[in-house]
Chain A
Amino acid sequence: MASRVSNPSFMNGVPELLILRLLEHEEMYGYEIVQAIQDRTGSVISVGEGVVYPVLHGLEQDGALTSRRKSIGGRSRIYYSITSAGSRRLADLAQSWTGLAGAIQQVLAGGPNAQAIP
C-alpha cells in the first residue's frame, strides 16, 4: 500500500515556505519580510505581523536561517538569510505545496478526485 502524507492543517508550513522563498536571494529583516509577503500575495495572506518572529526564530533554531545585527540609518536591525539547510527545506516544502495545490486545483476543476467530495 502506498503511504499517504496527512495534512492536519492547510496553513501548516505556509509561513515557513513564504519566508524561505523571500530570503532565497536576499537578506531581510522582519518588517521587510512582512511587507514583501503582503505585496506578493496581494494581501490574501494576512496575519498579525508580529507572529512572523517566532517563525523566524524557529527556522533559525532549526538551522534553516542565520541572523546578524546590522545598523542602518542609526537603527539596529536583525537581518535574516537562508542557509543551505534552509534551501533544502524550501525545495521540500515547495514540492509538497505544488503537489497539494495541483490536487486541489484538479478537484476544483472537476477531475476524477472530485467524486471524493460529497
Chain B
Amino acid sequence: MPRPFRELRERLLRAGVAPRHVRRYLAELADHLADLVAEEQQAGRTRAEAESAALARLGEMDDLARAMTGQRQFQAWCVRAPWVAFGLVPLLALAAAWFVAFFILWSGWQMFLPGADTPFGAGPNYGFANLYFQAGKAIYFYAPLIVGWGIALIAARQRLKIIWPTLGLALIAWIGGTGQVLAGRTTVPGGLGHISMEFTLGPSVHGISGGLIHVLVILSVTGLPYLIWRLQKSLSPST
C-alpha cells in the first residue's frame, strides 16, 4: 500500500469511519491510481513523473479524507454508540454464552446424574458424559475472555481512544470474575426434589480475594494484548 494511503487509512479510522468503508475506499483509490499512472505513462511521462502526477490528480489528502468523514453514514456503529458496542453487546454476548453453558449443565445433570443432589464435584469422569460437562465448563470459563478479546479487537480495528474499551473490559472482567452458579435440589422427604439453579454476582466460595484475582486475570489476559498493541502503534514511525 502506498504511503499516502496508509496515512489516509489511519486518518479515516481515527475519525470513526467504519473499517469496511475504509477498505473499499482505499481499494478503489488504488485502482484509480493505477489507471491514472498508466494514462500518464502513455502520455510520455516516466514512471516517477507519472506516479507523482497521478497522486496530484487523485486529490489532496485533506480533500480525500474530508469527503469520507463528512458523511455520517460511513461512521462505525461503535463510534456512533460506544455504550452499545462496549457495554450492551458484550453483556448480551456473555449472557448468551452463559445461557448455553447453564443449559448444558442442567441437561447433563438430568441425563447423566439423575439422582445426584448437585452436578458439581460428583460428575462422571469418563466418556461422552464427561465431554458434555467439560464443554459447558469451557464455555462458561472462556466466554468472558472471548468477549473481552472481541472488545479489544473492535477497539484496535477502529483506532478508538482507550476509555470505552477499558470500561467494557472492566465490566466483563468484573462480571466474569464474580459471577457464579448455584445448583442444588429442594429437600423432599423420601424422594427427589426439584432441580434449582441460580446465577449470582458476588464473592466466590474462595472469598473476596479469590474473586478479585479472577477479575484481574480476566482483565490482564484480555487487556494486556490490546495495551501492547497500542504501545507498538504509538511507537511506530509510520503512524
- Residues of chain A at the chain B interface (Cβ within 8 Å): 29-31, 34, 47-51, 53-55, 57-58, 61, 75, 77-78
- Asked if A50 contacts B31 (CB within 8 A), the reply is no
The residues of A that contact B36 with a CB separation of less than 8 Å are 31, 49
A29: chain B residues at CB < 8 Å are 31
When the two chains form their complex, are residues B59 and A78 in contact, meaning their CB atoms are under 8 A apart? no
Within 8 A of A (CB), among B24-38: 24-25, 28-29, 31-32, 34-36
Residue B49 CB within 8 A of the other chain? no
The minimal Cβ–Cβ distance linking A44 to chain B, given in whole angstroms, is 16
- The answer to whether A51 and B31 touch (CB under 8 A), given A57-B21, A57-B25, A61-B73, is no
A50 neighbours in B (Cβ, 8 Å)? 29, 32, 58-59, 63-64, 67
The answer on a CB contact under 8 Å between B71 and A30 is: no
Interface residues on B, range: 20 to 34
B74 within 8 Å of A by Cβ?
yes
> Inside 8 A of B34's CB, which chain A residues have their CB?
75
Query: Does B212 have its Cβ within 8 Å of any Cβ on chain A?
Result: no
Task: List B residues at the A interface (Cβ < 8 Å).
Answer: 21, 24-25, 28-29, 31-32, 34-36, 57-60, 63-64, 67-68, 70-71, 73-74
Docked pose: A30 CA to B29 CA in angstroms: 9
The residue from A31, A54, A75, A78 contacting B74, defined by CB atoms under 8 A apart: A54
Q: How far apart are the CA atoms of A58 and B31 in the complex, in Å?
A: 19
Contact partners of B64 in chain A: CB under 8 A: 48, 50-51
Judge whether A53 and B73 touch: CB under 8 Å. Answer: no
* B24–A30 CB distance below 8 A: no
Residues of B within 8 Å of A53, CB to CB, are: 25, 28-29, 32, 67
Report the Cα distance A77→B57, complex, angstroms.
Answer: 20
* Contact partner, B31, options A48, A54, A75, Cβ 8 Å: A75
Residues of chain A lying within 8 A (CB to CB) of residue B68: 54
* Contacting residues, chain A, for B35 (C-beta < 8 A): 31
18 inter-chain pairs at a CB distance below 8 angstroms, sorted by A residue, are: A29-B31, A31-B32, A47-B59, A47-B63, A49-B57, A49-B58, A51-B67, A53-B28, A53-B67, A54-B71, A54-B74, A57-B24, A57-B74, A58-B71, A58-B73, A58-B74, A75-B31, A78-B28
* Residue of A50, A53, A75 with most partner-chain B CB within 10 A: A50
- B63 pairs with A51, CB closer than 8 A: yes
A30 near B25 with CB under 8 A, answer no
Top 8 A-B pairs, shortest CB-CB distance: A48-B59, A54-B67, A51-B67, A31-B35, A50-B59, A50-B58, A48-B63, A50-B64
Knowing that A51-B67, A57-B25 touch, tell me 10 more A-B residue pairs with CB under 8 angstroms: A30-B32, A31-B31, A50-B63, A53-B29, A53-B67, A54-B74, A57-B21, A57-B74, A58-B74, A78-B24
Q: How far is the CA of A50 from the CA of B31 in the complex (A)?
A: 10
Chain A nearest CB: distance from B9 CB in Å? Answer: 13
Complex CA gap A29/B68 in Å reads 18
Residue among A29, A31, A53 with most chain B CB within 10 A: A53
